[in-house]
Structure 1
């Protein structure tokens, strides 16, 4: 896997930290809280560059809260929110809440351009929300104005019904699945939450890289792409199509996971 890139990256930070919200005083001291540096140069190894970017993205933050997503994937999500006129994002897997803040702010931008109504909302689910609640409160004490934290198991159909109950009336939504990245959790997320997506809307299954041997992060068992394949082949997935053409930026953590409802 050769190409025109080579990487130089900063040493990795410890995998676990107790402070997942960061603040800077504007003097430059906040630079230490930026993600590790990755440099691209000609005539290098694309696989090594990709691996460096994958390690980098788990150290990234948004509004001072850990986000753990490739900028290229975030940009495509923003495109799809605009195209589908999504007023709500349903996020499966909250972690510390950085992506929930990012989704909320992008939805607010869409509302500012008149693309969607101003009553936007992110409904983000996890088994426990203690860490996210603390991190979001530190970043934005009024986060509940646009973000609903739900606790529940995505394998339980009632969890999807509770998520739907938090939508503004008539709202269109996009679903982003970012849970355990196993066959069973991916299949359950598709089965229970895909019905929330309207025609012309999108369901993003994250981290199909767990099924790409050259890119699989350590300790990830896989099963995401087989679950997507089996679901699309069954009656529940018949109204969706897989949009590999949306992998437009050359780097994505979600190969095969961009799904559009077409009927």
Structure 2
């Protein structure tokens, strides 16, 4: 079995593209009224009529985490009580503000760090950046991550950038994660398992001596599906 330290991982994210408008817009129904008449209750459509992600927001900022994921991360934060939460992929910044507010309500002294190569999409107003740090780094250039070596622990690292993930994970294991810290891959595991299953299984197995999968949270939502790993 291969060891993660000797691997140069291909970017499995290349098998599926992502990208959306970072600005939050309330859902818009097309082809049906929002106010449905009760004398036609039985005829009402059962589907939402819009994408689920259209309505996920925190204080007016888009937040691409569904309710099941929010609930699971709430419990994980309460259990770990992290001093640092790192989210790779800032987008509009809604989840950064959510994490900051969540840890504040829980009485946790925590710095929330958002990392992106393009911070221009971030919509967080300056008045809301207390305990939130925005930093630039490029997933294709691991040297840009050297600035993150000395962060407070316990630590939760969430990969939501979908770029060069396994080499990022390799760097985090070697340079950042202490025992009990978390590395979380959101969204992508089911797609990799569908489109590149052999490489996915091989890449995950390479980390078997340094990471374990936390089965309390790895099955908690479709976004976290088999992607919640703890430094062993």
Could you state the TM-score of these two structures normalised by the residue count of structure 2? 0.71
Shift of the alpha carbon at 1:197? 2.4
Structure 1, unmatched stretches of 5+, are 1-14, 23-32, 38-47, 214-221
| Deviation by residue 1:73-131 (Cα, 9 ceiling, x = unmatched) | 12111212222221111111111101111111122123x2xxx4x3x211111111012
Question: Residue 85 of structure 2 corresponds to which residue in structure 1?
Answer: 89
Question: Which one of 162, 166, 189 corresponds to residue 180 of structure 1?
Answer: 162
Could you state the TM-score of these two structures normalised by the residue count of structure 1? 0.64
In the TM superposition, structure 1's runs of 4+ consecutive aligned residues that sit over 6 Å from their partners are none
Question: Residue 246 of structure 1 corresponds to which residue in structure 2?
Answer: 217
Q: Is the 8 A contact 1:84 1:202 kept in 2?
A: no
1:16-165 alignment, distance < 5 Å: 20=23, 33=26, 55-110=51-106, 112=107, 116=108, 118=109, 120-132=110-122, 135-137=123-125, 141-165=126-150
2:226 matched to 1:256? Answer: yes
Q: Distance in 2 between matches of 1:154 and 1:205?
A: 14
Shift of the alpha carbon at 1:198? 2.1
Q: Distance in 2 between matches of 1:93 and 1:233?
A: 25
Question: Residue 40 of structure 1 corresponds to which residue in structure 2?
Answer: none
Question: Which one of 168, 186, 211 corresponds to residue 206 of structure 1?
Answer: 186
Closer/same/farther in 2, CA of residues 35 and 64 from structure 1, 3 Å limit: farther
| Deviation by residue 1:51-93 (Cα, 9 ceiling, x = unmatched) | x799302542111000111111121112122222211111111
The secondary structure found in structure 2 opposite 1:179 is coil
Question: Which one of 233, 237, 242 corresponds to residue 205 of structure 2?
Answer: 233
Q: Is the 8 A contact 2:159 2:186 kept in 1?
A: yes
Higher relative contact order (CA 8 A, sep 6+): 2
Q: Distance in 1 between matches of 2:49 and 2:116?
A: 26
Q: Distance in 2 between matches of 1:54 and 1:164?
A: 42
What RMSD, in angstroms, separates the aligned Cα atoms of the two structures? 3.1
Question: Residue 197 of structure 1 corresponds to which residue in structure 2?
Answer: 177
